[in-house]
């Protein structure tokens, strides 16, 4: 079973591996139901979704109809103004057929101009706070992709006491000294303030190339070798306090959950460096080159 630890200061003990419900976005309902039924097998009690993840919120509704109280439920809004963000929260409640969301997150808030709008007068943060005051949500968070995410989250935490953040974290990303430094500053802040720290892209191999023949189940190519994947998972979970959000590639759900359920052993740096060579691992995000999620794809 996957270890559970406090999710920041929320009072909830969450499984350290959080189910990334983006995997449900393009699924038929029957397959979504089968996938969600497996969460109990691994002790997963935290689901993370977003309004922009296709039909994922709709696919969750039948499951949540009888299991709502068993899971910490998080979703996201990418809208940056108060009224639009609040309206999207209400739409998410309707789509999932629930009365309350545990965590609402401002989605990928890393661009300075968008940050100024969302965090300023009439911005999305005001809508989130209002939704919390009305009991529609319980906690507020912020997420981000790209190399600027840690520094922007640090800025967000200085402006408002968010309950959680979410950033990319894997061996190749931490090989960038600037990113690693920003991450360490953010990590220290989250530890000090008891802010839940979620991570994404743990099992990312690299971006897709034009000559890749594999089927695309996520916007990036994931690690498929089970041993290398286990080391990638352990790289995250060996660090105290971090949560790992699973990939949108549902074909790797069981492999990832099995790896996360097994005893965690911090991988040797030389072994991870060998994985970079053998598996062809590359950072998904390179500052000012490929900081967007999909770039030209």
Identify whether 289 is part of a domain.
no
Residue 199, token pair as written in the block: 């991570």
Give the CATH number for residue 66.
3.20.20.100
122 secondary structure, DSSP code: T
Looking at residue 297, its pLDDT comes to 28
High-pLDDT (> 70) share of the chain, %: 98
Total domain count for the chain?
1
**Residue 293: closest CA among 108, 152, 80, 151:** 108
pLDDT at 294: 53
For CA atoms 249, 250, 256, 261, give the dihedral sign: positive
Is the residue at 285 inside a domain?
no
Looking at the domain assignment, is residue 287 inside a domain? no
> Distance (Å, rounded) from C-alpha 129 to C-alpha 220?
34
What is the Cα–Cα distance from 194 to 204, expressed in whole angstroms? 27
Query: Do the Cβ atoms of 146 and 291 come closer than 8 Å?
Result: yes
DSSP helix/strand/coil, 149: helix
In a domain, 253, yes or no: yes
Quick check: is 272 in a domain? yes
Q: Which domain holds residue 78?
A: 4-279
Closest CA to 244 of 225, 223, 259: 259
Q: 295 falls in which pLDDT band (50, 70, 90)?
A: very low
Per-residue pLDDT, 68: 98
User: 3-class SS at 33?
Assistant: helix
For 216-229, write each residue's pLDDT tens digit: 778 888 999 999 99
Tens digit of each residue's pLDDT (9 = 90 or more) over 21-71: 999 999 999 999 999 999 999 999 999 999 999 999 999 999 999 999 999
For the residues 263-289, what does the mean pLDDT come to? 93
Residue 187 lies in a domain: yes
Q: Is the pLDDT of residue 296 over 60?
A: no
């Amino acid at each position: 079973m996957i270890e559970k630890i406090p999710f920041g200061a929320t009072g909830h003990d969450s499984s350290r591996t959080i189910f990334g419900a983006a995997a449900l976005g393009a699924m038929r309902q029957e397959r979504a139901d089968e996938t969600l039924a497996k969460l109990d097998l691994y002790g997963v009690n935290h689901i993370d979704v977003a309004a922009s993840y296709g039909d994922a919120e709709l696919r969750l509704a039948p499951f949540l109809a009888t299991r709502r109280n068993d899971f910490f439920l998080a979703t996201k809004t990418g809208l940056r103004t108060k009224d639009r963000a609040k309206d999207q929260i209400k739409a998410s409640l309707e789509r999932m057929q629930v009365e309350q969301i545990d965590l609402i997150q401002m989605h990928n808030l890393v661009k300075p101009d968008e940050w100024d709008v969302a965090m300023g007068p009439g911005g999305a943060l005001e809508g989130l706070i209002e939704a919390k005051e009305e009991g529609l949500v319980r906690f507020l968070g912020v997420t981000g992709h790209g190399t600027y995410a840690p520094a922007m989250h640090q800025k967000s935490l200085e402006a408002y006491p968010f309950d959680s953040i979410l950033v990319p974290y894997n061996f190749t990303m931490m090989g960038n000294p600037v990113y690693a430094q920003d991450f360490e500053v953010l990590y220290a802040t989250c530890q000090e303030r008891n802010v839940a720290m979620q991570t994404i892209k743990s099992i990312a191999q690299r971006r897709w190339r034009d000559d890749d023949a594999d089927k695309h189940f996520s916007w990036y190519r994931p690690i498929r070798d089970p041993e290398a994947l286990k080391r990638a998972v352990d790289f995250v979970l060996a660090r105290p306090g971090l949560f790992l959000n699973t990939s949108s590639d549902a074909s790797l759900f069981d492999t990832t959950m099995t790896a996360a359920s097994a005893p965690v052993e911090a991988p040797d740096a030389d072994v991870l460096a060998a994985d970079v060579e053998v598996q062809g691992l590359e950072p998904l995000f390179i500052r000012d080159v490929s900081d967007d999620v999909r770039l030209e794809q």
